[in-house]
């Protein structure tokens, strides 16, 4: 327990606070009150008080995977805990403790500067370190869960700090135990385990193509640069056009359903799934329904990647969700497959 002398200052309160610049879709949103969380010790008394006052609350990281309403009632906890340090190193692994508010991409770049390769395939994913385990962020054949040793979080049900091992987090495709229990856990720190042994992973089509003519041995910096270049070409920059990255999960179907679909749609794009099922490319399904590049009012489907919905300016959550449900309906009609929305609807 901290003595009063060492206790952190209480979380800074701003009421109300506009969140347009803290969500990558660029939706206009007014939070009734926002608390800036800069130290984990601020949480117990704050959560106790909010619950005593029967006020709703939620955590916001970088806002790159959320759909915000015009008005967010109650308290919004802005996760700004900083700090990153190597806490252990032996001949096999390095353990890295990182505050939940650290920017994800900056962490990936920093690990390479420290000669700790492993996270390079996950470069340029927006958002914070604390949100990364929530949906087990992944890209180019790598998921963050495989590098997480454990997580430190405030459990709002137990009203206590807890440590969740990698196993307890139950990481799966864009999913985790934390995601299954929204608003129960506030992630304050993530401890990564980076193995000393390193291997390039360039089996995903875009990366394999990028390095097709490469004859010498690759290093992690080259993969980091390639991932950044490919992402900048394919995905819209939220600073230029509002978006939340992939808007739908790639649906996972049984082999039998996949076989039936292939018989009807021979060009169907799909990938093998770790559980022996097939993961369908949701972007391809949406494209086949004619949505790529379409604009409906202030929202649309990105012209280079049908999986990304964009805010052309002035859109609301309702506009985005209306387009999303039209896409879901047409994909279901054509392919018999249900698309699930990826961002959290707050
Ligand atoms: C252009 C673009 C590209 C993207 N590419 C990818 C990609 O390749 N792969 C991928 O997996 N994702 C991708 N995303 C989605 C997004 O970047 C990730 O999901 C990211 O981890 C979200 O981080 P955030 O800090 O912005 O979270 P937020 O959007 O702020 O929050 C997301 C959810 O996590 C909760 N949350 C946030 N922080 C905490 C915390 N500390 N404790 C508890 N709950 C918390 C929030 O309440 C919310 O439910 C992309 C998004 C964009 C805009």
CATH number (domain holding residue 29): 3.30.43.10
Ligand 1 mutation target, pool 47, 65, 137, 145, most atoms within 8 A of CB = 65
CATH of the domain at 131: 3.30.465.10
**Ligand 1 pocket, residue 61 CB under 6 Å:** yes
3-state percent breakdown (helix, strand, coil) of the chain, nearest 5? 30, 30, 45
112 three-state secondary structure: helix
Q: Phi and psi at residue 268, in whole multiples of 5°?
A: -50, 130
Quickly count: other Cβ atoms within 10 Å of residue 197's Cβ: 7
Are 72 and 32 spatial neighbours (Cβ–Cβ below 8 Å)? yes
The verdict on residue 102 lying in a domain is yes
Three-state secondary structure call for residue 67: strand
Sign of CA dihedral 134, 137, 141, 142: negative
One domain for residues 262 and 339: yes
pLDDT of residue 2: 45
Choose one of 27, 126, 143 to mutate for the ligand 1 pocket test, by most ligand atoms within 8 angstroms of C-beta.
Answer: 126
Looking at the structure, do residues 101 and 51 belong to the same domain, yes or no? no
User: Which token pair is 55?
Assistant: 């006020």
Query: How far is the centre of ligand 1, averaged over its atoms, from the C-alpha of 101 (Å)?
Result: 12
User: How many angstroms separate the CA atoms of 78 and 172, rounded?
Assistant: 26
Task: Confirm whether 59 is domain-assigned.
Answer: yes
- pLDDT tens across the length of the chain (346 residues): 444 557 788 999 999 999 999 999 999 999 999 999 999 999 999 999 999 999 999 999 999 999 999 999 999 999 999 999 999 999 999 999 999 999 999 999 999 999 999 999 999 999 999 999 999 999 999 999 999 999 999 999 999 999 999 999 999 999 999 999 998 999 999 999 999 999 999 998 899 999 998 878 899 999 999 999 999 999 999 999 999 999 999 999 999 999 999 999 999 999 888 788 999 999 999 999 999 999 999 999 999 999 999 999 999 999 999 999 999 999 999 999 999 999 999 9
Measured at the CA of 98, the angle between CA 95 and CA 102, to 5 degrees, comes to 150
* Burial call 88-99: b when 16+ CB within 10 Å, e when fewer: eeeeebbbbbbb
Tell me what pLDDT residue 66 has: 98
pLDDT of the residue at 1? 44
Domain assignment of residue 222, yes or no: no
Asked if residue 248 has a cis previous peptide bond (ω within 30° of 0), the answer is no
Residue 113, domain member (yes or no)? yes
Tokens 């993961």 correspond to 279
Domain count for the chain: 3
Cα 144 to Cα 247: distance, rounded to the nearest angstrom: 19
315 lines ligand 1 (CB under 6 A): no
The DSSP code for 40 is G
Q: Per the domain annotation, does 223 fall within a domain?
A: no
- Same domain, residue pair 74 and 88: no
Q: Which atom of ligand 1 is nearest to the CA of 100?
A: 41
Going from the Cα of 245 to the center of ligand 1, the distance in angstroms, rounded, reads: 9
The answer on 129 and 34 residing in a single domain is no
Same domain, 281 and 325: yes
Look at residues 79, 102, 132 and tell me which one is the last residue of a structural domain: 79
Strand positions, DSSP E, 196-298: 242-246, 252-253, 270-272, 278-280, 295-296
63 lies in some domain:
yes
Q: Are residues 94 and 44 in the same domain?
A: no
Q: Point out the residues that are catalytic.
A: 174, 246, 342
In a domain, residue 207? The reply is no
**Is 212 within the bounds of a domain?**
no
Span between the terminal Cα atoms of the chain, in Å:
33
Q: What is the CATH number of the domain that holds 309?
A: 3.90.78.10
57, 32: one domain: yes
Q: What is the Å distance from ligand 1's center to 316 Cα?
A: 19
Mutate to test the pocket of ligand 1, among 61, 77, 119 (most ligand atoms within 8 A of CB): 61
In a shared domain, residues 147 and 107:
yes
Picking from 79, 99, 123, the residue at the C-terminal end of a domain is 79
Residue where a domain terminates, one of 58, 79, 100: 79
| Ligand 1 centroid from CA 198, angstroms | 26
Residue 64 Cα to ligand 1 midpoint, Å, equals 5
Give me the domain span that covers residue 141. 84-195
Could you tell me if 67 and 166 lie in one domain? no
Q: Is the C-beta atom of 238 inside 6 A of ligand 1?
A: yes
């Amino acid at each position: 327990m901290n003595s009063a002398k060492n206790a952190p200052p209480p979380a800074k309160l701003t009421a109300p606070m506009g969140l347009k610049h803290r969500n990558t879709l660029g939706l206009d949103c007014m939070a009734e009150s926002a608390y800036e969380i800069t130290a984990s010790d601020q949480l117990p008394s704050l959560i106790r008080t909010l619950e005593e006052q029967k006020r709703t609350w939620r955590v916001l990281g970088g806002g790159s995977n959320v759909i915000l309403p015009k008005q967010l009632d109650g308290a919004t906890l802005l996760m700004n805990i900083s700090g990153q340090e190597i806490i252990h190193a032996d001949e096999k692994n390095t353990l890295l403790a990182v505050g939940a508010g650290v920017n994800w991409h900056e962490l990936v770049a920093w690990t390479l500067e420290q000669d700790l390769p492993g996270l390079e395939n996950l470069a340029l994913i927006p958002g914070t370190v604390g949100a990364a385990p929530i949906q087990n962020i992944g890209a180019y054949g790598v998921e963050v869960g495989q590098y997480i040793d454990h997580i430190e979080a405030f459990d709002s049900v137990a009203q206590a700090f807890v440590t969740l091992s990698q196993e307890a987090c139950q990481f799966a495709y864009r999913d985790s135990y934390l995601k299954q229990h929204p608003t129960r856990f506030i992630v304050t720190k993530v401890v990564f385990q980076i193995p000393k042994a390193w291997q390039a992973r360039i089996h995903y089509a875009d990366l394999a193509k990028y390095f097709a003519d490469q004859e010498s041995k690759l290093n992690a910096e080259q993969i980091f640069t390639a991932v950044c270049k490919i992402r900048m070409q394919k995905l819209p920059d939220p600073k230029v056009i509002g978006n939340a990255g992939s808007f739908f999960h790639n649906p996972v179907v049984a082999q039998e359903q996949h076989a039936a679909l292939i018989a009807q749609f021979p060009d169907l794009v799909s990938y093998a799934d770790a559980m022996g099922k097939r993961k369908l490319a949701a972007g391809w399904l949406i494209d086949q329904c004619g949505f790529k590049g379409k604009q409906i009012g202030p929202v649309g489907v990105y012209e280079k990647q049908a999986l990304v919905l964009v805010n052309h300016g002035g859109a609301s959550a309702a506009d985005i969700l209306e387009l999303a449900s039209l896409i879901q309906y047409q994909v279901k009609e054509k392919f018999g497959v249900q698309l699930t929305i990826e961002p959290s609807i707050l």
